[in-house]
Amino acid sequence: MTTMTMTGAAVALQGISRVYGRGPAAVRAVDDVTLQFPRGGWTAVMGPSGSGKSTLLHCAAGLERVDSGRVLIGDTDITAAGDSQLTSLRRTRIGFVFQSFNLIGSLTAEQNVALPLRLAGRRPSRAEVRATLDTVGLADRARHKPRELSGGQQQRVAIARAMVTRPEVLFADEPTGALDSRAARTVLDLLRAMADAGQSIVMVTHDPGAAARADSVVFLGDGRVVDQLTGASTRAVADRLATWER
Amino acid sequence: MMGMSRAGLAERWTLFAGALLSVTLGVALVQSSLLLLITAALLDPPAGASAAERMEFADGTAAAVSMLGVVLGGAVFLAGFIISSTFAFTVDQRRRDLALLRLVGGSRGQLRRLLLGEAVTLGALGAMLGVPAGLAVMRLQGWLMREFGFVPQSFAGEWRQWILGVSFGTGILLAVAGVLVAARRASRVRPLEALRETGPAARVMTWSRALIGLIFLGGALALMIVAPFGGPAGGMAMAMNVPIPAAVAVVAFAPLLVPLIARLVPFRAPGGLARANLSDARRRSASVAAPLIVLVALVVGNVGAGASFTTSGIHQLATQTHADLVVESTGPPGPTNPPSPSTGTPSADTPGAASFSDIPGVASVSVETRVPAEVTTGSGEDRETETISLLVIDPVAYAKTHDDSASLAGLNGREVAAGPGGDVPGAGGTVRLTVPDRDLGDLPVVAGVPATMTGGANLLVPPGLLSAAELKDAPTQSFVTLTKDADAAATRASLARFGTVTTLDDRLRADAEAANSTNEKIMLIVLGLGGLYALIGVINSIVIGAATRRREFAEARVTGMTRGQVVRSALLEAYAITVSALILGGVASAATFIAVLSTTKSVTGTGTLDLPWTQIGAVTAIALVVTTATTLITSLSATRPQPVTQLRAA
Ligand SMILES: Nc1ncnc2c1ncn2[C@@H]1O[C@H](COP(=O)(O)OP(=O)(O)OP(=O)(O)O)[C@@H](O)[C@H]1O
Ligand SMILES: [Mg+2]
């Protein structure tokens, strides 16, 4: 693993753009964005639907290539990384959580959590996997398949799966988007605890309440960064969002 | 990784059951055909058979071996085609799962290994089931061969130890080959595809697919172009081989063609879902259509070609033969069949014809006696002996009775001529000839008649070459032409003394019926089980396609469609795909028919096409019934649970 300077950001985007389509039908989903997501901090990304939040997240995580600019995870430049480099990046340094959970239906909760380790060629002990499930409060559901779990429980399994490799950065795209307020609060509490323990988190959300739990909020509009807030309350976030969504 | 694979096996069991079934049946079919072929090729004539019987036996065996060769070729093609397309389809259907694996850190190599591991497991498992299944198939095929008289009653396929290696090799190899291309494509799936709810807008026509299509199209066109120049035997063989490359070419372009044609099929569907699915799920449509296209092309193309060639041959025979009555006898007809005074030195007279001349009303007679013989070509290592059929004729009478045989008139002494059956050197060559119990040495071929559609004797020899004793048990046909003023009934009555008398027309009609029935029996053996296998391939694709549609159905229902509407929409979609596949299979058959027309025209002067309407109707009906029934069952079972429970599973 690459050594990191303590002052460096967890993820740095330098003037990145991503254009879909060509000619007059082209959509500039991300338009010349420069941003730093601090190490050990929790950053929320907000903005109207179609403003490029998911695209930004995908580019930052190396799931989508950028048309221009540079993407750095830690001090590793992944802009032109090949497939095998990106694969090892996903195995060891970044984790994902998505709105639709994306668990593998044929595997139990415990097998889903163990999967990234096994793909990396490790034989995780049951205790190690159970411990991770325990941190998300689901040790007793280890043997259940995704369809036997509630949405909130599935999302917690997905978080456990993302965390089991102890990634440098956790990317989350509307992790509470499909959950009711109680389940959402459990998930946000979990993320807060992780951030407090030093985990870097980048989270896209529509919910001002969720964004207010983060350390800072970035607002996107038409693929550009239009505003940033630090340590804001739900109310402040909602007000700012309303300004930009008008 | 294997644990993942095992869990995958358990979850998507219909997918894997379908793949397994395709391997099992493919291995069974190949194994059975191969064992039967080997058994037939090594078949010994019964103990105590005479030299003539041995030659007849060798001739019959050669025919059975070549038929089984075609059966084996068809089995290998179908197994390769159905297994590889089924496996490729199962991989395509799991793109999203595979993308998810990539998302959580799976490498391309791991995905490839996972899929190849699955293929090896399923291939081996399929072979394990296919070996005993193959023994059952062999019993059935052997029974058909005996029942239809293509092999002696004692014939039974024999087990061989090494077939285990062949069967397991076939199963694993074909499964791996099928997955290889699909696995390469699947391993390039982007992790992001896991996040899209709907299937990826995957490219349906890849360059490699188009290339394969063009190569096979070229092959089909080459066969079509060359067939009319191949003579009757070669032309027939080439025309009968058009359906396979033509079907493969059509299948390769199916992802483009099926939705295009399906769009033209008229129907009214609830919510336009069926129509949207047709253009959206192109690969699924094409995968269901593929085995159906092959089935139609094989059955309609081959049965049509076989029937057309038979009809054309009978027609040619009727126009080229000039006689009124046919007398069939054992040995040349004569008052007493007197033994020749000296067996070794053949006499120059024609024993048969002489005996007819006394009968009033007979203008001329061509006596033709069929004797088995062997022709040897090459020497030393390359020495090859082939069983042929030889016809002892009276050259002048023969030339009067059969068109195009004027060149035979001078045939004399040890001279021989190439017969309508072809397969021997033409005029100017020599043949080394052996008749039962006697080596006749090298004989000059001095003349020949053109090969005909129905074939017949390979060699025509003058009467003196064989002794009366050598001919006395040989089947003989005497073509009798009556004088203008003959009392037909009286002449016929007199002729009855020499053998069974029929009119030429009745004789030809009986020949036509026999030829058609033989043709149908051959088609049943060659295509019966293969067709069934292709049909199972169709069912397989529908079941596999439905396995991944539960979610799609559930979404349609929560959007407001009733269960009945969802099922009806699936049925209409299946109907449109079936009709398109039937049309495309018809296109591949039409390519065959073009080759049939040009070949029959070049051989007989008249292009002949005898379309097998019964089989066309049967294939159409079976295809519609099977796809409808399978779709009905799968979509009903996929919509049984409440839609909500299906949407909630990841
Ligand atoms: N694969 C794609 N092809 C073409 N256009 C795309 C693609 N993905 C996204 N876009 C376009 O890029 C823009 C940004 O999309 P993105 O998914 O990033 O928005 P978002 O901010 O995440 O929206 P939401 O809040 O609704 O999820 C949109 O206009 C979208 O239509
Ligand atoms: Mg989004």
DSSP assignments along B48-75, one per residue: T--HHHHHHHHHHHHHHHHHHHHHHHHH
**Residue A141: both structure tokens together:** 């559901």
| pLDDT classification of A45: cutoffs 50, 70, 90 | very high
Site of tokens 């089909």: B220
Q: Is the pLDDT of residue A68 over 90?
A: yes
The model's pLDDT over B36-76, given as tens digits with 9 standing for 90+, comes to 999 988 888 877 778 778 877 887 888 888 888 888 988 89
What SS3 class is residue A142?
coil
Q: Check residue B646 and give its pLDDT.
A: 59
Mean pLDDT score of chain B, rounded to an integer?
84
Q: Is it the case that residue A227 has pLDDT exceeding 70?
A: yes
What is the predicted pLDDT for the residue at B291? 92
> Which of A43-47, A90-94, B147-151, B530-534 has the highest mean predicted lDDT (pLDDT)?
A43-47
Predicted local distance difference test score (pLDDT) of residue A7: 41
Residue in B106, B645, B649 nearest the CB of A105? B649
- Is B432 at the interface with chain A, CB within 8 A? no
Chain A residue numbers touching B197 (CB-CB < 8 A): 100
Q: How confident is the model at residue B270 (pLDDT cuts 50, 70, 90)?
A: low
**pLDDT score of B294:** 92
Q: Rounded distance, CA B19 to CA B86, Å?
A: 6
Check pLDDT > 80 for residue B197: no
Nearest CA in chain A to B13: A106
Chain B residues in contact with A84 (beta carbon < 8 A): 107-108
Decide if A6 is inside a domain.
no
Judge: A118–B108 Cβ closer than 8 Å, yes or no: no
Q: What is the count of structural domains for chain A?
A: 1
A153 found inside a domain = yes
Mean pLDDT of all residues in chain A?
87
For tokens 């991503």, name the residue.
Answer: A18
Q: What percent of chain B has pLDDT over 70?
A: 90
Taking the Cβ of residue A118 and every Cβ of chain B, the question of whether any pair is shorter than 8 Å is answered with: yes
Secondary element (H or E) of residue A66: none
* Cβ A153 vs Cβ A75: under 8 Å: no
Q: Which residue has the higher pLDDT, B349 or A60?
A: A60
**Any chain A CB within 8 A of the CB of B2?**
no
The predicted structure's pLDDT at residue B352? 52
The 10s digit of each residue's pLDDT in B136-145 is 999 999 999 8
Q: How far is CA B319 from the centre of its chain?
A: 29
Which residues of B are less than 8 Å from A92 in CB distance?
105
Nearest CA in chain B to A88: B105
Contacts of B547 (CB under 8 A, 6+ apart): B12, B14, B15, B93
When pLDDT is averaged across residues B372-392 and rounded to a whole number, the result is 81
- CA–CA dist B165, B184 (Å, integer): 27
Q: Is the pLDDT of residue A2 over 60?
A: no
Question: Of A232-241, B293-302, B580-589, where does mean pLDDT reach its minimum?
Answer: A232-241
- Minimum distance, in Å, between the CA of residue A105 and any CA atom of chain B: 5
Residue A12 Cα, ligand 1 centroid: separation in angstroms? 21
Contact B108 A103 (CB under 8 A): no
Q: CA torsion angle for A155, A158, A163, A169 (degrees, to 10)?
A: -80
* Nearest-CA residue for atom 4 of ligand 1: A20
Structure token digits, residue B633: 């069952």
Residue A152 lies in a domain: yes
According to the model, what pLDDT value does residue B372 have?
Answer: 86
Flag whether A215 is in a domain: no
Which positions ≥6 away from B248 have C-beta within 8 Å? Answer: B81, B212, B213, B216, B294
Residues B440 and A13: their CA atoms lie apart, in Å, by: 95
Is it the case that residue B332 has pLDDT exceeding 60? yes
Mutate to test the interface with B, among A55, A107, A129, A159 (most CBs of B within 10 A): A107
Residue B268 distance to chain A (closest CA, Å): 34
Domain extent for A127: 108-165
Q: Could you report the per-residue pLDDT of A160-203, keeping only the tens digit for each?
A: 998 888 899 999 998 888 888 888 898 899 899 999 999 999 99
* Chain B nearest CA to A76, separation (Å): 18
pLDDT band at B620 (very low <50, low <70, confident <90, very high): very high
Contact B105 A154 (CB under 8 A): no
Which residue type, as a one-letter code, is found at position B412?
N
Q: How far is B82 from chain A (nearest CA, A)?
A: 27
| Three-state DSSP class for residue B517 | helix
Question: By mean pLDDT, which of B7-16, B55-64, B240-249, B515-524 is the weakest?
Answer: B7-16
Domain borders along chain B are 1-203, 204-321+507-650, 322-506
Distance A150 CA to ligand 1 centre (A): 28
Closest-CA distance, A107 to chain B, in angstroms, reads 6
The predicted pLDDT at position B342 comes to 40
Q: Ligand 1 atom 22: the closest Cα is on which residue?
A: A54
Of B246 and B259, more confident:
B246
Nearest-angstrom CA–CA distance, A241 and A229 = 11
Which of the 8 DSSP states describes residue B14?
H
Q: Is the pLDDT of residue B409 over 70?
A: yes
Q: How many CB atoms lie within 10 A of CB B494?
A: 17
pLDDT of residue B447: 86
Q: What is the pLDDT of residue B337?
A: 43
Pocket test for ligand 1, best of A45, A51, A241 (most atoms within 8 A of CB): A51
pLDDT of residue A3 exceeding 50: no
Return the best residue to mutate from A55, A58, A100, A204 for the ligand 1 pocket (most ligand atoms within 8 A of CB): A55
Find tokens 């989903």 and name the residue. A29
- Give the per-residue pLDDT at B5: 53
What does R_g of chain A's alpha carbons equal in angstroms? 18
Pocket test for ligand 1, best of A17, A18, A20, A219 (most atoms within 8 A of CB): A20
* Inter-chain CB pairs, A–B, below 8 Å: 81
Q: What are phi and psi of B584, to 5 degrees?
A: -70, -40
Q: Beta strand pairing status for A11-20 and A27-37?
A: antiparallel
pLDDT tens digits, B424-434: 877 778 888 88
User: Chain B contact for A84, CB < 8 A?
Assistant: yes
B181 — pLDDT class (breaks 50, 70, 90) = confident
- Prediction pTM value: 0.80
Residue A189 within a domain: no
Q: Whose CA is nearest to atom 19 of ligand 1?
A: A50
Between the CA of A50 and the centroid of ligand 1 the distance, in Å, is 5
Residues having CB closer than 6 A to ligand 1 are A 20-21, 27, 29, 47, 49-55
Quick check: B196 contacting A, CB < 8 Å? no
Q: How confident is the model at residue B644 (pLDDT cuts 50, 70, 90)?
A: low
Summarize the confidence of residues B11-31 as an average pLDDT.
86
